[in-house]
């Protein structure tokens, strides 16, 4: 297949995904990449198996006293944290409409997408925030055919996952499943140069900094994307 995923999360990012140490927003981005990528699905299964082995090999409580106090601690935690399990009532959204186009959503995004904010539109670009905590903001980003996001640099981390269509920037070409990570050292101009619309998932840890355009336009643009 000519359009296979080429840009993957690093091994360290996958390890943090598997051991649960990522923020929910970054974890959702990696989970969505996995929906597209059998290669990383296999890798994360291996990492999980390794984690399970190292957990099993960890030294157990040496004496009965340790064992008892551990059990007491576990039971106390169970008492304080046990709540009736309520299944998520968020409706499953399998398709999304924006800019007059329909997109099929990957499984990982189907529940959260019902909670998205309304679309903000600027030219051929639209964004909709998904619920998030700090420090990461997560949103859906629509880029219509033959449309560019204004050139910008980053004050923090920008992680972009292509969900549909394709996108190019100064570093390469990206297809659905490709994960692009930019840091404050990177300046780029993401563009959709194809005749099909593009949909991305974007995680930002700080507002973008735009390089062009009139100064008075910069702040509204920053708010639009963040
Ligand atoms: Zn991958």
Domains annotated for the chain, with CATH where assigned, are 11-81 (1.10.10.1320), 95-224 (2.60.120.10)
CA of 151 to the centre of ligand 1 (A): 27
Q: Say how far apart CA 189 and CA 157 lie, in whole Å.
A: 16
Residues 6 or more apart whose CB falls under 8 angstroms from that of 116 comprise 128, 129, 130, 140
CA of 39 to the centre of ligand 1 (A): 6
Say if residue 81's pLDDT is above 90: no
CA of 140 to the centre of ligand 1 (A): 20
Its pTM stands at: 0.81
pLDDT digits over 132-173, tens only?
Answer: 887 889 999 999 999 998 888 888 889 999 999 999 999 999
The H-assigned helical ranges of the chain are: 11-18, 24-36, 38-57, 64-81, 215-225
């Amino acid at each position: 297949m000519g359009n296979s995923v080429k840009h993957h999360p690093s091994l360290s990012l996958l390890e943090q995904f598997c051991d649960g140490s990522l923020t929910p927003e970054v974890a959702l981005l990696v989970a969505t990449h996995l929906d597209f990528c059998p290669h990383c699905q296999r890798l994360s299964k291996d990492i999980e198996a390794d984690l399970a082995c190292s957990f099993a090999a960890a030294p157990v409580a040496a004496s009965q006293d340790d064992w008892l106090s551990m059990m007491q601690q576990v039971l106390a935690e169970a008492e304080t944290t046990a709540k009736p399990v309520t299944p998520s009532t968020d409706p499953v959204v399998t398709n999304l409409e924006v800019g007059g186009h329909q997109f099929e959503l990957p499984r990982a995004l189907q529940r959260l997408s019902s909670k998205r904010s309304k679309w903000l539109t600027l030219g051929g670009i639209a964004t909709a925030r998904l619920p998030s905590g700090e420090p990461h903001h997560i949103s859906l980003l629509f880029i219509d055919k033959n449309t560019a996001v204004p050139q910008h640099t980053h004050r923090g981390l920008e992680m972009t996952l292509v969900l549909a269509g394709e996108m190019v920037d100064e570093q390469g070409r990206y297809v659905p499943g490709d994960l692009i990570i930019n840091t404050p050292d990177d300046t780029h101009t993401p563009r959709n140069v194809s005749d099909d619309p593009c949909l991305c998932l974007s995680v930002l840890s700080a507002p973008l900094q735009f390089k062009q355009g009139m100064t008075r336009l910069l702040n509204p643009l920053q708010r639009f994307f963040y």
